[in-house]
Amino acid sequence: MPERLPVLPMKDVVVFPHMVLPLFVGRATSTRAVDNALSGDRHALFVTQKEPSVEFPTFNDLYHVGTVGLILRMLKQSDGQMKLLVQGVKRVSLLEIEAQDDGYFVGVHEDLDSIKPADEYLTEARMRSVKEQLIRLIGMGKPVLPDFVDMLNNISDPEQLANILSANIGIPVNESQEMLEMLDPLERLARISEYFNRELSIMEVQQRIADSTKGEIDKNQRDYFLREQLKAIQRELGERGTGGSELEEYEKKIEEARMTEEAEKEARKQLQRLSYLSQDSAEGSVVRTYLDTLCELPWSKSTKEILQIRKAKRVLDMDHYGMQEVKERVLDFLALRKLKKDIKSPILCLVGPPGVGKTSLGRSVAKALNRKFVRMSFGGIRDEAEIRGHRRTYIGAMPGKIIQGLKTAGSNNPVIMLDEIDKLGADFRGDPASALLEVLDPVQNFSFTDHYINLPFDLSHVLFITTANYVDPIPEPLKDRMEIIRISGYTEEEKLIIAQKYIVPRQIEESGLDKVKLTFRKEALRDTISYYTRESGLRKLEQQIGKICRKIGREVVENHTEEFSVSQKSLRKYLGVRKFEREDELEKNEVGIVTGLAWTPSGGETLFVECAAFKGKGALQQTGMIGDVMKESMQAAYTYIKSIADEFKISEKSISSKDLHIHVPSGAIPKDGPSAGITMATAIFSVLTDRAVKRDVAMTGEITITGKVLPIGGLKEKLYAARRIGIKTVVIPKRNEPELADLPKTLLANLNIVPVSLFREVLPVAVE
């Protein structure tokens, strides 16, 4: 064997003696070394690189123990690479390498002789042990060539056995190099035995794992094959089962929904259940509906708010006239929202008579905030499940109104209006008002749980606005969670402005009269308000204006007229005879008739109290479908007037010889409350003294038997009623005087307010 041989550096393989293996050579230096070897005796020195990434290795980049190999065959491929078939000959030590002109290296080497074992029995035992370990590994599934074991049984040389095993058991390159460098074959066999023991331990663990999971895997495989067969049958029948496309679609929806961690975990659990169910199963339909609900909920979707105070104020003023208290509260919330992003949304409750614009105001608030708007009617709801939803165990179960509203809005920060919250009921199905306690509590609603989805949902970003006609029916715990904002009715002047700016243009557009030149005279609108409507709100007024527009639309179609002007004279043509007459048009002041003021759910109303005296024994009769409280108030007023009879020269004989009859007209309408006390006292005083009461004076206030005037409620609504019928002077309790500071200036204009604390102060104002 020549001492100088061409060197072929190997990147990821170690060549052992007695080993035949294919090699691929691609580097230019290596191909030149092969050509040099083939031109000689076909021998070359195969040495492994320490680092495979080095493209041009030097002496220090190579291991210094390698193998002389014989190139049995060489085949050049189309890409320039060489495919070699090499047989290892003997192990050598690389002493140095010399670079040749062609770029390849020639190495100087010397032989490395193995140590011959001294103990023949130990050698035989070690060889048998290794072979038995290999047979056990093969029995546990380790892949080897078919005739490999037979070949090993024919080997009696420990050095040759160690070389063949080292080359074929699949150990890493660095460990293979260590094996090549070991001179004692028994030591190499011991290292191979350690490797086999490690592999046996790993494969035994794998076998135990495989045995423990085999039953489950077999069941899953069985279910999989049965499902595939079912799908094939369904395809043949023209039916569609729960295929991969549907599951992939739900998987995509779950990813896009960006749920909370808890919700996503539940959704994936239900999706796994769905994968085991057929298309026709009832449970599959329930799971699909539940998954659709979870995926459609806006867990993390929200609309971007407009935090510009001026722009929001402009929107609110453009949509609604007046209502300053509500607008100020919304703008306050916007300002704080700009300062602190995570501020809790307020729960507003708009209380007022029908038709004053509570619902439309909620829509304008959503528009001003650039949020979605959802309206829910709560009138007549008696089932708690309408709020919290039904549990999925029931057939036809569905989420409650709150979750459905969020699905409709598509965002987690809409404006949700709960309309007619004062008309909630309660029966054996539960109390919906109690279910609303969690919804309308900013401290609790961050984890509202609907019975259907059975997962917490954050409602703290929602702005809830509730509406009611009156506050009393709302349960106290629910009322405590809301900010009550009262919206009273409108004066004639306010109705006139609203009709000109909002109602008339809207009705012209809705009636298709945009191209017709149609004008409403101010006097015509004023008469429509005074003589054809009698309400605190605007709903009837809009209906009357819409009626005029429809009549005009008919004339346009029939007569092709293109110009109209609605005046006072033409109102009768469009609206018929007057529905109401103004009560202030009475010709003179009368004895025993006093104008009182009352509060109703529809707003303020005038209340005319009549009193008449006739021969009798001092009894007091009361009529007009009045309640017990009002009857007691009449009795208290009568008692007080009798107590001051001497002061006003009312003889005891005239009192004891007369019966009094107090009547409140509109006898079919129930009436109750103490606030007409001074009105009744004035009527009794007028009859007993035969002094007339001024027709342009109205009054309200509770009276005691000592003549004190106590405060009343609904002052704003009552003043609106007084303005509506043309009253000039209103007598109110002294303790209600501070409320005047918060009332609109347009309401108090041209209205003489007289606060009194004693009944004696009423007489100079009201009685001639």
The one catalytic residue in 345, 364, 530, 675 is: 675
Between residues 423 and 710, the one the model is more confident about = 710
Closest CA to 362 of 344, 374, 352, 346: 374
The pLDDT score that the predictor gives to residue 730 is 94
The pLDDT value given to residue 712: 92
Q: Which of 65-79, 228-242, 652-666 has the lowest mean pLDDT?
A: 228-242
Bridge partners (DSSP) listed for residue 85: 22, 73
pLDDT tops 90 at residue 735: yes
Residue 626 in this model has a pLDDT that exceeds 50: yes
Residues 703/644, Cβ–Cβ less than 8 Å: no
Q: Which helix (H) or strand (E) holds 479?
A: helix 476-480
Q: Is the pLDDT of residue 680 over 90?
A: yes
Nearest residue to 396 via CA among 405, 407, 385: 385
Rounded to the nearest 5 percent, the helix, strand and coil shares of the chain are 45, 20, 35
- What is the maximum alpha-carbon separation in the chain? 160
pLDDT score, position 242: 47
Residue with tokens 């095993």: 165
Provide the percentage of residues in the chain whose pLDDT is more than 90: 19
Residue 374 pLDDT > 70, yes or no? yes
Query: Is the pLDDT score of 584 beyond 60?
Result: no
Q: How many residues can be counted in the chain?
A: 768
pTM of this structure: 0.59
| Band of residue 43 on the pLDDT scale cut at 50, 70, 90 | very high
Q: If we measure between CA atoms, which residue out of 158, 165, 166 comes closest to residue 184? A: 158
Mean pLDDT calculated for residue range 628-642: 92
- Dump pLDDT digits (tens) for 13-41: 899 898 888 988 888 888 888 888 888 88
pLDDT tens per residue, range 319-360: 888 778 888 888 888 888 778 877 778 888 988 888 888 888
Q: Which residue has the tokens 């990434």?
A: 53
- Whether 675 is catalytic: yes
**DSSP per-residue codes, 412-436:** SS-EEEEETGGG---BTTB-HHHHH
Residue 47 confidence (pLDDT) above 90: yes
Given a cut of 90, is residue 761 above it in pLDDT?
yes
Q: What is the pLDDT of residue 585?
A: 45
Q: How confident is the model over 552-556, as a mean pLDDT? A: 89
Q: 322 in the Ramachandran plot: left (φ > 0), alpha (ψ -120 to 50) or beta? A: left
Q: Tell me the pLDDT of the chain averaged across its residues.
A: 85
